[in-house]
Amino acid sequence: MNKKYESFARILPLNGIVRRLAIRCSLFIIHYSLFISLHAQVPKGVFLTDTIEIGKPFQYSLSIRHRPGIDILFPDTARHFPPFLVRDVSFFSTRTDARGSLDSSVYTLVSFETGPMQTLRVPVLLLRTPTDCTVVFSNSDTIRLRERIQTMRPDTLRLSTNTAVVSLRQQMNYPLLMTILAGICLLAGVLLLFFGRNIRTRIRRYQLYRQYQDFQRSFARLTRGIGPETAHEDAGRAVVIWKKYMERLERKPFTSLTTREIVESVQDIRLADALKEIDGVIYGSVYSDQTQQSLRILNEVADDAYRRSSVQLQEEEVNQEERL
């Protein structure tokens, strides 16, 4: 009997605690219900469309009816609208009638969530005094996400082995090509700006060397096997080649000058006898042992003129390098 009394003694305090908690909760619920019923109704939040698309705006309406003397604070757009983002808000003036005052607003929202169903429930503050307020939550409203891409799941995970190879046409990367060309042009401009004269001088020296090599080959081909039978033709062609080459080096009209004028222009005592000997071969077909010697003198005169021009270009290049 003593043990039974002890168990009842333990149960009775526990039942008393539960009873007190239940009474407090009931009083709080009654008080809250009375406050809401006396001061305001539950806020009504409604999506103005049934379905939405990712990234496209849609509207959400929030309204609450309350007693005229109550101040209302609508939810913070930065904290109370997840998973939605608030893009714009339109507030409407308070309308008061026999049923009380009505405050409402329309929010323009955007969603980037991929869930098929999305729900929103927001809080509204009822200001009783400047230091006391009550939070009232709106009803929960749900909106459905409209899927643009319809995926068809395959019945099997086996990969296809009969796929045909599709050849792709090569395309020119025009932006890259234009960038490369612009870089080349810029580099060429910098080189010409700082080394333009030096480059041009080197090009002229190379051209002068190539012209000298061409003259030597042509002149040697005509004079190598010259004889009494072909002397007047080969000597005439050799003199024409020599005059054209000297005209290019000295920049004087050798092809239109007489023998006397050429001798005065070149100022070489050997050249007068050599040209007279060759004129006799060309116009009189008088071939002698001095014919080959006269042709060699013409070649030596051309060689001296080439060396003078090459030295002159080299001196110009040295002067340009010293200026830089």
Helix (H) or strand (E) holding 274: helix 269-284
Within 10 angstroms of residue 264's Cβ, the number of other Cβ atoms is 12
Higher pLDDT, 318 or 39: 318
Could you tell me if residue 114 is left (phi over 0), alpha (psi between -120 and 50 degrees) or otherwise beta? alpha
Domain extent listing, the chain: 44-145, 177-323
Within 10 angstroms of residue 285's Cβ, the number of other Cβ atoms is 13
Q: What is the DSSP string of 28-46?
A: HHHHHHHHHHHHBPPPEEE
Joined together, the tokens standing for residue 222 give 């005509």
Which residue, 39, 316, 75, is CA-closest to 204?
316
Which residue carries 């930065």 as its tokens? Answer: 78
pLDDT at res. 34: 45
The 10s digit of each residue's pLDDT in 285-303 is: 777 778 888 888 888 988 9
* CATH code of the domain occupying 44-145: 2.60.40
CB–CB of 100/48 below 8 Å? no
CB–CB of 125/62 below 8 Å? no
State yes or no: pLDDT of 32 exceeds 80: no
Higher pLDDT, 282 or 163: 282
Joined together, the tokens standing for residue 114 give 């991929």
Q: List CB contacts of 274: < 8 A, sequence separation 6 or more.
A: 293, 294, 295, 297, 298
Higher pLDDT, 317 or 92: 92
CB–CB of 60/120 below 8 Å? yes
Q: Compute the distance between CA of residue 298 and CA of residue 303 in angstroms, rounded to an integer.
A: 9
The 10s digit of each residue's pLDDT in 57-74 is: 999 999 998 888 788 889
Mean pLDDT of the chain: 81
Helix axes 290-323, 269-284, angle to 10 degrees: 130
Joined together, the tokens standing for residue 217 give 């080959």
Q: Compute the distance between CA of residue 238 and CA of residue 219 in angstroms, rounded to an integer.
A: 6
The residue-averaged pLDDT of 107-132 equals: 87
